[in-house]
Amino acid sequence: MEFNKNVQALIALNGLEIGLSRKHNAVSLFEQPADMFTEAEDALFELKKAVGEENALTLLKNLKSDYVSDRAKEMEKEGVFAVSYLDGEYPEIFDGVYPKPLLLYVKGNVSLLKSETVAVAGPRKPTRYAETVTYDFCTEFAKAGLTVVSGLAAGIDGTAHRAALDAGGKTVAVVANGLDVVYPAEHRGLRESILLNDGLIISEYKLKTKPNAYQFPERNRLICGLAKALFVPEAASKSGTMITLNLAAEQGKEVFITPSNINNPEASGSNKCLQQGARMALSASDVLDFYDLSLGAKSKAVQISLSEQVILDVLKQGEMHFEEILEKSEFNVNELQSILAEMEIDDLVVKSDGNFYSLR
């Protein structure tokens, strides 16, 4: 598997056991990550200040050795791709996430990174009420054409993913571990169903990374970061779901919450949020109205851009490989990847095995 130089440099950087903020410090020393391959040695003094002496030396070693090619082989074996913050497939909505992810490990339908999404979060041990509400709401979200984003955890996350799949919709799972690690184990089947049904699983963490407690809040910022709005059926006052609610508020996301029994401790936090001004959702329509969608309305009229029209004109000649479209359209690789991803989402083109495209 061949990655561009920016991705290769970030894979080398991800070999360091440091936090994302320090990785940002390292990247800021260069015009683009790819420059690490030619300039890191000259910038060693600054790198040591950014990430520490031992980490700086490890980075140099990773850049010069077979570290990156070895990781690429492992990723290819697992069917995992990587998207950097400079790539066309990278979702612009992540510009509002702090700290912004530098590299995403992805498996599945990458075009979903730029689809219209709604985030869903809730407890691992929900009440029956919360499960029912989540399933019903996510069914309607999927039928209306929204991609349902959640964290593949036990409880509400799993219910959200299943509802989207059962409704014939799309879903994205954001996980707090490497994409070769199945967590929780009981969701192995659900994970496979997501992939088999043209869904997507993403992570910030390199392969072989097992889930640790501190990684879940980091993961949660991406769940709400990937969507315009967050839906929560219930949340206890001191819970991971409340952390996600706070993250969504910090990111300026719209938050929708269903009201619950005031004597239910599992909803004490979410009820408090409603009291403080979160939007009350009494039906899925309340959320869909925010997206200007209606129940059962799969999509709105698509407005075709000039760039998309160029691709449509090219594909009138028949099914075509990506490289041939690239040659005929005269876009660069990143531009074409981004345009085709948007056109897939808008049901204008169909991608087939072997990187071929045709008009829908």
Q: What angle do CA 287, 291, 293 make, to 5 degrees?
A: 90
Q: Are residues 47 and 173 in the same domain?
A: no
Are 106 and 127 in contact by the 8 Å Cβ rule? The answer is: no
Tokens (6 digits) for 157: 């996350």
Residue 296: inside a domain: no
Helices (H), the chain: 5-13, 20-27, 36-39, 44-51, 53-64, 67-78, 128-143, 156-166, 188-196, 215-225, 240-250, 268-275, 284-290, 306-315, 322-329, 333-345
Question: Is residue 174 predicted with pLDDT exceeding 50?
Answer: yes
Question: Is residue 151 predicted with pLDDT exceeding 60?
Answer: yes
Among 261, 290, 319, which residue terminates a domain? 290
Question: Coil, strand or helix: which one is 12?
Answer: helix
Q: Are residues 75 and 193 in the same domain?
A: no
CA-to-CA distance for 227 and 236, rounded, in angstroms? 23
Residue 301: inside a domain: no
Q: Are residues 57 and 180 in the same domain?
A: no
Q: How confident is the model at residue 100 (pLDDT cuts 50, 70, 90)?
A: very high
Question: Is residue 131 predicted with pLDDT exceeding 90?
Answer: yes
Residue 323: inside a domain: yes
Residue 298: inside a domain: no
Question: Is residue 293 predicted with pLDDT exceeding 90?
Answer: no
Question: Is residue 111 predicted with pLDDT exceeding 90?
Answer: yes
Among 85, 108, 131, which residue terminates a domain? 108
Among 80, 108, 136, which residue terminates a domain? 108
Question: Is residue 299 predicted with pLDDT exceeding 70?
Answer: no
Question: Coil, strand or helix: which one is 226?
Answer: coil
pLDDT averaged over the chain?
A: 94
Q: How confident is the model at residue 302 (pLDDT cuts 50, 70, 90)?
A: low
Q: Which domain range does residue 71 map to?
A: 5-108
- Within 8 A by CB and 6+ apart from 350, the residues are 344, 357, 358, 359, 360
| Inter-helix orientation angle 53-64/67-78, to 10° | 70
Mean pLDDT of all residues in 302-321:
81
Task: Give residue 306's pLDDT.
Answer: 79
Mean pLDDT of all residues in 328-356:
87
CA-to-CA distance for 249 and 267, rounded, in angstroms? 18
Question: Is residue 320 predicted with pLDDT exceeding 70?
Answer: yes
Residue 137: inside a domain: yes
Residue 299: inside a domain: no
Residue 300: inside a domain: no
Give me the number of domains the chain comprises: 3
CA-to-CA distance for 110 and 83, rounded, in angstroms? 9
Residue 233: inside a domain: yes
